[in-house]
């Protein structure tokens, strides 16, 4: 064996070891990614008066029509959901569903920033189901470290693949009848796209926040954020659309036991403050209280 052959042999072996090492490594998303969950809140948990932010998401003009999805690649999808349509823009009577609304930043009465307070992570799970080769819900919110329970109600296999920028990316197959997959995200991130690489039309978006001050608009376009400390905040409404989505912001003042209105409009004639796209930016970093 001459020198050149030896060099190629060594390179091949090195590449093999790298691949094998990678194959044997734990691909779970929980082992890495860093966390700020131990951060100490300057102000501790909030215990003062709270109010509510509610509103309606409207669409001005003619919304894009839902598109038919071709499910011939997996007959199970077509059998269970023969009229599967895109759900990136669900508009009914001019009202928009699946808009993620959250408090981005602001000042609580008394002068402290909302980010100075800590919030308890709920013990309840948030469910993401795969049903009819479609994610339900399409947009959802969880708190940092809150359990996300993923179920498969279809007679076919899916793979769940979140593609975060700040959290750990993972990709896991879930066969029909397989037990639920439980995951959590360790960093706040707005919003994490989730896709199924087996059925490329399947998409969902997960907003991960360190506080519970978020909501997703219903089919009537309505949303409500309860338990907001009295203060002045920047509220953001994000909806899917285009390559990176679209967001609008609004300054909202919440009074003690009061109800603040925050109506957002999307579409051609929308007038509120608009950013053309959301580059999956990090959300407000608030400390979280461990329980």
Q: Which residues bind another protein (CB under 8 A)?
A: 4-5, 8-9, 11-12, 15-16, 18-19, 22-23, 25, 27, 67-70, 73-77, 86, 156-157, 159, 161, 169, 171-173, 175, 197-201, 242-243
Minimum distance from residue 208 beta carbon to another protein (Å) = 19
| CB-based burial, 173-188: b 16+ in 10 Å, e otherwise | ebeeeeebbebbbbbb
Question: 118, 122, 184, 127: which is closest to 152 by C-alpha?
Answer: 127
Whether the Cβ atoms of residue 51 and residue 254 lie closer than 8 Å to each other: yes
User: Can you read off the two tokens belonging to residue 171?
Assistant: 């990709």
DSSP letter, residue 6: H
Minimum distance from residue 235 beta carbon to another protein (Å) = 28
Question: 177, 91, 182, 82: which is closest to 132 by C-alpha?
Answer: 82
Minimum distance from residue 16 beta carbon to another protein (Å) = 6
Minimum distance from residue 276 beta carbon to another protein (Å) = 12
Residue 59 or 201 with smaller CB distance to another protein = 201
Q: Rounded to 5, what percent of the chain is helix, strand, coil?
A: 10, 40, 50
Question: 148, 191, 190: which is closest to 172 by C-alpha?
Answer: 148
Minimum distance from residue 279 beta carbon to another protein (Å) = 12
Task: Give the 3-state secondary structure of residue 124.
Answer: coil
Query: Tokens 């409207």 appear where?
Result: 58
Residue 243 or 269 with smaller CB distance to another protein = 243
Name the CA radius of gyration of the chain, rounded: 22
Residue 76 or 289 with smaller CB distance to another protein = 76
Minimum distance from residue 213 beta carbon to another protein (Å) = 30
Distance (Å, whole) CA 64 – CA 232: 34
Residue 20 or 256 with smaller CB distance to another protein = 20
Phi, psi of 33 (to 5 degrees): 110, -10
Minimum distance from residue 168 beta carbon to another protein (Å) = 10
DSSP letter, residue 263: -
Residue 197 or 272 with smaller CB distance to another protein = 197
Tell me the pairing of strands 126-130 and 50-60. Answer: unpaired
Residue 68 or 226 with smaller CB distance to another protein = 68
Residue 23 or 269 with smaller CB distance to another protein = 23
């Amino acid at each position: 064996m001459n020198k050149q052959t030896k060099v190629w042999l060594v390179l091949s072996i090195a590449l093999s070891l790298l691949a094998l090492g990678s194959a044997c490594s734990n691909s779970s998303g929980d082992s890495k990614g860093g966390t700020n969950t131990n951060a100490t809140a300057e102000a501790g948990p909030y215990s003062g008066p709270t109010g509510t932010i509610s509103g309606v998401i409207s669409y001005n003009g003619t919304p894009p029509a839902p598109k038919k999805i071709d499910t011939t690649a997996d007959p199970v999808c077509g059998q269970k959901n023969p009229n599967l349509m895109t759900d990136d823009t669900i508009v009914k009577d001019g009202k928009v569903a699946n808009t993620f609304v959250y408090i981005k930043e602001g000042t609580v009465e008394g002068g402290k920033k909302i980010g100075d307070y800590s919030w308890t992570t709920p013990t309840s799970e948030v469910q993401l189901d795969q049903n009819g080769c479609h994610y339900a819900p399409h947009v959802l919110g969880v708190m940092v470290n809150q359990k996300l329970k993923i179920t498969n109600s279809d007679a076919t296999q899916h793979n769940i693949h979140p593609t975060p920028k700040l959290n750990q990316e993972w990709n896991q197959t879930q066969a029909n009848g397989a037990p639920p997959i439980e995951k959590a995200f360790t960093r706040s991130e707005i919003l994490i796209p989730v896709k199924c690489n087996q059925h490329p039309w399947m998409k969902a978006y997960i907003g991960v926040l360190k506080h519970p001050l978020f909501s997703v608009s219903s089919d009537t376009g309505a949303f409500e954020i309860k338990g907001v400390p009295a203060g002045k905040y920047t509220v953001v409404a994000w909806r899917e659309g285009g390559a990176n989505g679209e967001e609008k912001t609004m300054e909202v003042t919440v009074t003690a036991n009061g109800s603040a209105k925050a109506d957002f409009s999307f579409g051609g004639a929308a007038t509120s403050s608009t950013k053309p796209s959301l580059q999956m930016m990090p959300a407000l970093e608030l400390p979280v209280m461990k329980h």
